[in-house]
Structure 1
Amino acid sequence: MPENVLSPRGLRLVGLTAAAALLLSGCVNSGEESDSGAAEAQAQPITATSVPAEELPSAAEDYTAYYDQDIEWTSCEETMMCADVTVPMDWAEPGAQEDLEIRIISSQTGGDDAEHLLTNPGGPGSSGYDAVADSLSVAFSEELIEHYNIIGFDPRGVHRSAPVTCLDDAEMDEYREQVSEEQLDDASSYAEARESAAELAAQCESESGALLGHVDSLSAVRDMDVIRAVLDQDELNYLGFSYGTKLGMTYAEHYGDRVGRFVLDGMLDVSIDAHELNKGQALGFEVALENYAQWCIEQETCPAGDTVEEVIEGVQELFAGVAETPVQGADGRTVNVSTLVSGFITPMYSREAWPVLSEAMSVALGQEDFTMFQYFADLQAGRSPDGSYEWINSFAFNAVMCLDYPMPQDQEQIDAEFEEVSEQAPTFGPYLGHRAVICGEWPAENVSEPWNPDLGEVDELLMIGTTGDPATPVEWAENMHEQVPQSSLIIREGEGHLAYRAGNGCVDEAVDRYLIGGELTEGRTDC
């Protein structure tokens, strides 16, 4: 493998580390790869396919074995049960590639005769297994836990389900430490960025192979329908968060007659393109920063200033200073601006974490100690204190995004989009990068695009947005509600990402009433 997975100048547009923290919120092995391997990956892209749902009925001969399979439950996580569900890697040509095993976990809390509630925590790249195994009582109400057997799953390409792998632990540390010293503002720098992205893509292909062409959201949704079938459910009950709402909307679009009670919290707008997605999140974090700044100056001491403007300027100066001169962390690793921005964004996901964010700001500004921000960035990246990565979700994130969203390849358009985001979101926009470069070199072609939903066979579903949500702005929920007439909408007044189990009884009670009793208020409700 080349010494640097991404060159210094390659990071600004690729922007993987900081950008992966946005959407939405394992030890791997790595072999050597030559420059000729990168060229070969570019010349012979993996073939990925996206087949209309009507061509894939569950009773079709080619899929019967998947839908009729008997899964073997085994004890796991002390009180829970786990199983592997077999699905085709390529839904267009089952058997053409090796089958995949999708790991699922059941809370076993509802009893043998209870209905099942499938859940996804977001990402793309987040583990639904971990959400149930580690956060059951936090993420779900006691009533919901008692009523359902709650099912978590790692979607294809994620952690325990044929994970996308690219780098080992040491290589990932090196990757995250690369420093962007120059702007990508000429043909030479773009060429270098693309070469570096091709080297990374070749490494991912070397480790993950044909899987990279089959981790798109539609394929994951087809897996969800198999999970429904093996759980012996005529309809799928589902609670999806953040990116999990896109999985829910995709399922409802293609399997509308099998939609049970669906709750989608932290709505992703499936009708917007990658640029609007990136811009919406950047603007969302700008608003969240303003709200944090207002809260901060109302405290006894605010480390960054006495007015909202001073706090925002202080954050911008902090970012700019580290962008110009990266600092060394206590453990000797480099804290660059990508690490700092990722570490800053992570505690912004919850208002309860704002005091910790202020503490990190105070230490960084007063002592030039960025240990806390490095710690937050490590949490987001899946890095343990011992240097191991339990699960590197950022590569699965990129793999899904490159398949799900067409990306521009014209340098002028990329520049224009980057400048628009940077101008409209001056604090975060300059550091979020542009995924077009890495997707342009990705060894699998884009297979999906945004769409305007038509859920004609769906009777009802519940969407939720939060006014101060930085990662999935409330406007996205409002737009989806407008496009889907059979949807009900709850708007939570508050800060932070997601609404259910965020301390708002109005939201929690409405969700539980619907999922447990089927009671759903029509139209919009403000909580």
Structure 2
Amino acid sequence: MCSAQPAAPLRTVLTLAVAGLLLTGCSGSDRPHGVPAGTPSSSAGTGASPGAAPAAVTPLQPLPEAVPAQLNSYYTQQLSWQSCDQGFQCATFKVPVDYDHPGDGDLSLGAVRRPADGAGGAQRLGSLLLNPGGPGGSAVQYVEAAAGSYQAPVRAAYDLVGLDPRGVGRSSPITCLSGDRMDAYTAVDTSPDNQAEIDQLVAVDQEFAAGCRAHSGALLGHVSTVEAARDMDVLRALLGEAKLNYVGKSYGTLLGATYAGLFPSRVGRLVLDGAMDPSLTALGENRAQAGGFETAWDSFVRDCDTRDDCPLGRDEQQAGQQLDSLFGSLRSQALPGEGGRQLTESRAVTGVVEAMYAQSLWPQLRDALTAAKSGKGGPLLRLSDSYYERSADGSYPNLMFANMAVNCLDLPAAFASPADVSRAVPDFQQVSPHFGRDMAWMSLACAYWPIKATGAPHTVKAAGAGPIVVVGTTRDPATPYAWAQSLAGQLASGRLLTYDGDGHTAYGRHNDCVDSAVNHYLLEGQPPAQGLRCGS
């Protein structure tokens, strides 16, 4: 199985990354682009200690087991699978825009599946729903790109199914800005030094929010993770499955954990890889994620020091000084890229962050830093474009739009004003000297969101569910390892599997220990031993 690279929103920042979303050599998305929303609180400002959730955060309550009568028509639809996309099958189905008021209108959601091949006479185990993360990553694109790379026994036993969450891809996508306005958004200074630069940052955040409201209408208030999890239960029923089998990466772990909390009796075999911690505020998430990218940078530097083509100094201090010097020089003078475009400081930060998601990107980052030192901004700009999934023609997918919409709805904004950010910058810089300032300012975006947040920090217990496997990577940049420890501790049946290594997410990244443990669980129903630790 290819190893996916997550999409971690930088500018809506949360991790959301499409976690481990895209596999090397495959196409997909799941890197965090932006900082998630959230506000500080006495109970969850920085997050719980490993394995424990803040006492004042309430648990997510399960929904009634019986399907409400007003939703019966959605649960009894007939899926019509049609051949599409080189051997895959595609279908659409309806869900209510608002589950509390199903008469107010419907959404059309798109799904894809790769039927089990039954190779070797394997017993068919039903459907395995996959989600790469985001929020905003397309599960349809992910399955089409990565299904063939799942190990043969899994492909033989399961139909691999991708459902684009509401607001994403083929499921009534959120839209916000044109390509040229997104170019302006990605170029603006995210480490402002004066009031004029703060005003520019606020202006693009406000333009982004206004564009989403203008183009997306009522849907903008109904793309929460809770609603997306309820959509998954509708699809479970339409697939004829009594229980949901699921592999979620990055933000997909929040989606899967939310499903388990709402429908614990319908939980089948759930794998949550690159786990998020639902007990955190947006502020706590953003600050912790800044620290995660700092940890990943330190790993990159240690590796770089062993390479003949390393453009940095021969120790971590010198490397950090050279990175800071590059960012500082771009503050006053952007470097030329291709096609008349420029490498600004904010795009350079995004490019470096993009490369932290997977070790396979480290050679590209070394080359990009070498080029930047000689005055060429193109290679680092290409890494930034990859983060945002910008196409060569200047267009953008709806990843960033959905990312912001979900983040800003799921949690109250991290900050209410630029003054709040200014006060928090030293704290962010303490946990992340090289990325903290930018990530603090990126966290301002949800302050201008036109829809009030409907979610809040909470724990997920999912009492009554079968074993749920939570996978954490010790030096994961986008979803820090402590989050996996916390989520596994919250879940009544959580089973933590640790990968001692680098990169975002672990399953399918060619570590035999992790892959064997997860595959054994998916195929036999037996979770890994509690505390199992796999080395890189």
Q: TM-score, normalised by structure 2?
A: 0.85
2:411 equivalent in structure 1: 405
Per the alignment, residue 513 of structure 1 pairs with 520
Decide whether aligned partners of structure 1 residues 182 and 299 sit closer, same or farther in structure 2, where only a CA change above 3 A counts.
closer
1:15 deviation in Å?
Answer: 6.8
Matching residue within 374, 377, 387 for 2:381: 374
1:112-127 alignment, distance < 5 Å = 114-127=125-138
User: Of residues 144, 156, 175 in structure 2, which corresponds to 1:146?
Assistant: 156
Task: Name the SS of the counterpart of 1:462 in structure 2.
Answer: strand
Paired with 2:203 and 2:180, the residues of 1 have a C-alpha distance of 21
- Structure 1: distance between partners of 2:204 and 2:488: 41
Q: Deviation at 1:129?
A: 0.5
304, 316, 328: which one aligns with 1:308: 316
Q: Distance in 2 between matches of 1:341 and 1:21?
A: 17
Which of 412, 424, 437 is matched with 2:431 structurally?
424
Inter-partner Cα distance in structure 2 for 1:272 and 1:404: 11
Matches within 5 A, 1:289-438: 289-365=297-373, 367-389=374-396, 391-407=397-413, 408-409=415-416, 411-434=418-441, 437-438=444-445
1:267 alignment partner, one of 270, 275, 287: 275
Query: Any idea what the Cα deviations from partners look like across 1:74-114, whole Å, max 9, x if unmatched?
Result: 11111110101211111111121x31111111011346965
- Picking from 143, 152, 159, the partner of 2:169 is 159
Label 1:352 to 1:200 Cα distance change in 2 as closer, same or farther (>3 A). Answer: closer
Question: What amino acid is aligned across from residue 89 of structure 1 in structure 2?
Answer: V
CA distance in 2, matches of 1:472, 1:304: 26
SS in 2 for 1:106: strand
Q: Deviations over 1:300-327 (max 9, x none)?
A: 2321111222112211211222123222
Matched to 2:256, the amino acid is G
Query: AA paired with 1:336?
Result: T
After the TM superposition, which residues 441-460 of structure 1 pair with which residues of structure 2 at under 5 Å, given as runs?
441-460=448-467
Report the counterpart of residue 169 of structure 1 in structure 2. Answer: 179
Check the 8 A contact 2:275/2:479 in 1, yes or no.
Answer: yes
Distance 1:317 1:190, change over 3 A: closer
- Map of 1:35 onto structure 2: none
CA gap 1:182/1:416 in 2 versus in 1, 3 angstroms: closer
Q: Which amino acid aligns with 1:120?
A: N
- The separation in 1 between residues aligned to 2:412 and 2:480, in whole angstroms, is 22
* Aligned sequence identity (%): 34
Residues 511 and 232 of structure 1, relative CA distance in 2, 3 Å threshold: same
Which of 99, 102, 115 matches 2:106?
A: 99
Among candidates 204, 208, 227, match of residue 219 of structure 1: 227
The residue aligned with 1:108 is 115
The answer to whether the 8 Å contact 2:472/2:484 transfers is yes
> Matched residues in 2 for 1:61 and 1:323: separation?
59
Partners of 2:92 and 2:18 lie apart in 1 by: 27
Residue 184 of structure 1 deviates from its aligned partner by 5.9
CA shift for structure 1 position 178: 3.3
| Equivalences, count | 482
1:90-148 C-alpha deviation (Å, 9 max, x unpaired): 1111121x31111111011346965000011010010100111112234x222211111
SS of 1:349 mapped into structure 2: coil
Structure 1 runs of 4+ off > 6 angstroms?
17-21, 188-192
- Does the 8 A contact of 1:289 with 1:312 survive in 2? no
Give distance in 2, aligned partners of 1:459 and 1:378: 41
The residue identity in structure 2 corresponding to 1:249 is: A
Q: Distance in 1 between matches of 2:212 and 2:327?
A: 30
1:249 equivalent to 2:257? Answer yes
CA contact (8 A) 2:488 2:494 kept: yes
The residue type paired with residue 405 of structure 1 is: L
- Structure 2: give runs of 5+ residues left out of the alignment: 1-8, 22-59
Match of 1:16 in 2: 11
| TM superposition shift of 1:193 | 5.2
Deviations 1:381-407, CA, capped at 9 Å, x for gaps: 122222233x13112111111111112
Q: Which 10-residue stretch deviates more, 434-443 or 259-268?
A: 434-443
Structure with the bigger percentage of helix: 1
Aligned in 2, Cα 1:179/1:273: closer, same or farther, shift over 3 Å?
Answer: closer
Matched residues in 2 for 1:59 and 1:74: separation?
A: 28
Contact 1:21 1:342 in 2 (8 A): no
* 325 and 499 in structure 1: CA distance in 2 versus 1, 3 angstrom threshold: same
Q: Distance in 2 between matches of 1:465 and 1:521?
A: 13
Question: Separation in 2 of the partners of 1:196 and 1:525?
Answer: 46
Ranges in structure 1 where 5+ consecutive residues have no aligned partner: 1-13, 26-51
1:192 and 1:57 map into 2 onto residues whose CA distance is 50
Match of 2:35 in 1: none
- Following TM superposition, by how much is the alpha carbon of 1:241 offset from its aligned partner in structure 2, in angstroms? 0.3
> Structure 1 residues 494, 194: CA separation in 2 closer, same or farther (over 3 Å shift)?
closer
Does structure 1 retain, via aligned residues, the 8 Å contact 2:254–2:278? Answer: yes
Secondary structure of 2:268's counterpart equals strand
Q: Deviations over 1:179-205 (max 9, x none)?
A: 4684366xx876775555333322211
Q: CA, structure 1 residues 308+137, in 2 after alignment: closer, same or farther (shift >3 Å)?
A: farther
Q: Secondary structure at the match of 1:432?
A: helix
Kindly state the Cα deviation for residue 431 of structure 1 after the two structures are TM-superposed.
Answer: 1.5
Q: How does 1:275-290 map to 2 (within 5 A)?
A: 275-290=283-298
Letter of the structure 1 residue corresponding to residue 314 of structure 2: D
Q: 1:486 to 1:180 in 2, by over 3 A?
A: closer
Q: Contact (CA 8 Å) 2:10, 2:350: kept in 1 or not?
A: no
Paired residue for 1:228? 236
How far did residue 173 of structure 1 move? 2.2
Cα deviations across residues 464-484 of structure 1 (Å, max 9, x unaligned)? 011121111111111222222
